[in-house]
Chain A
């Protein structure tokens, strides 16, 4: 054993507090054999993989020790109460409510009973469609070997949701996943698998909420499979409370002529460490990735995006816009990867940051990994404050200074807000941004 191997073996022996051999045994007995097999596979990887450390490049800006797993007692219980419906629900075909570890599904327009979509907990899916679960859970998008926290999610997930859109089906309204977490001291470990079969079209929206007083951890993983000529729109509005600490890893695999439109709206949580992206894996496939983020007080949002091109004639475009205020800190890492043979690729990445307070920090770190030639690839990043000439222009028209700044910051986000496909969500994001800005400006 070399020095490195020894060091690696020592690191690998570390488990995350609470996620031990004993906890795992208790979780998997007896359980569905298919799911148990998947969990065991993931658990083996979880034990094998090194725990992240602040000296790892990927964790350099977000010390993993900030995630106090020792203060959270492993798993949330099934909730006592039920989540109240909201006026957003009518915009969707199916509403899935996740309260604690309990999942309830409302088939509002009858698409589930008509077989036009399948939405179920992973437990039910493993019984009803074991072949799908076998193929897609811990599949090509996020194999168990991805990293320690992804493997942890694979071994210990406590909320599992499986969505399947059959071939050629077009959902008019979409599927809404609403997470309300009210239990302090728990770790929520959601696993989401979405499969859009060939030629299907669907929109899936997630809304993540917890109260500020709720101290909790989240270790999430999402796998999106977009089959030939399918189109999946996926949107996450993250407004976790300030007691929530999240680590996430999500990936979409997009096949021939298919498209994923993915919008992430990261406004909440105390600390988020998120990695997500797309692999345009079939010729003619494309990915449109848009995101906004905004940190205030001492929030910390660290995001890594991946634009992987593993097939020729593929397209990806990414626009991430963020503002940092107070003592807030944002980290953005954008990786574009063209694999060997991925010729005729167009990949665009833009990250714009507004630094609105003296104590706030925005880091932007681009990365290109290109193993192919004959491709168009561009990335650009900006970090700056508002343009004072714009502020003056608005003030010269009678608009008070704080209002002018607010308008300009909302304007900075506008092209992304404009792409949100539901007015209710657009309004909510607008409201959340205004709340933050009114407090700071």
Chain B
């Protein structure tokens, strides 16, 4: 029996949204098999990673806190990728957002007032934007590949954290630990549900997703990003400047990554530490693709990836699965999703073998 691929007249909308679901399901099945084969409790791993965070109500607050940065960054990346602008340095922009917010928090240390947090958020957004402006400038002026520049800037930004918290920003009471002092009350993100760790960043993430969905589907900006990505030639005829689109894509995705960074440092961390780069910026790439570059899909995908993070920690304590397993599950999801992409444009047909005509 043989199979053949046949081009569809139009891309399948059903497959567009069915394949991410199938990718998650396949990851669970294949993941269970592979982890059993290499000597772990495969079924247990899948149960703890994918189901426990949902069934255990005590874990829901962790889900919200982990999903928030993934959604905020993922929404920005989905907008950029729509326009075929490959910003993969969101981690660096997230770091710069966190550092800019930290700068304000340290500058206003000991002060009180409602204005401290909004000022930090503004600094964070601008920090992320400024860092994304570098690849935008180099891409539009000199046609330098934005993938490489944005990624190299990420590695550099990690070193900037190490420098700042080792020398100028070091906590004077920190007993030599490389970290800043704990932010004062006014610079900490409030929790919105008393008694939990759910902070203001969680509703902000949902709002960011909804607003982005509205803008991408209902505005000229959204139309521009979609057209430039899907049909660059048509976009040029339509008068959409390619350079302006590149700038917009990088500034928006950088701003959102910076926002996620400042919310993260003001929320869960409340100080800058060497462990601040948590790879949210890289995981958000998976979130953007799994959400089909659609802000509403990104909200769901952000929650799915947050489940694997929280579940990965659960599996570490309950069945002793190394934390690195989470990354493998996440990468598998993306592999299956990319493999399934072909079903959007093609359908699989069974080829009936033709009887051999006129032997002898």
Chains A and B come from one and the same complex: no
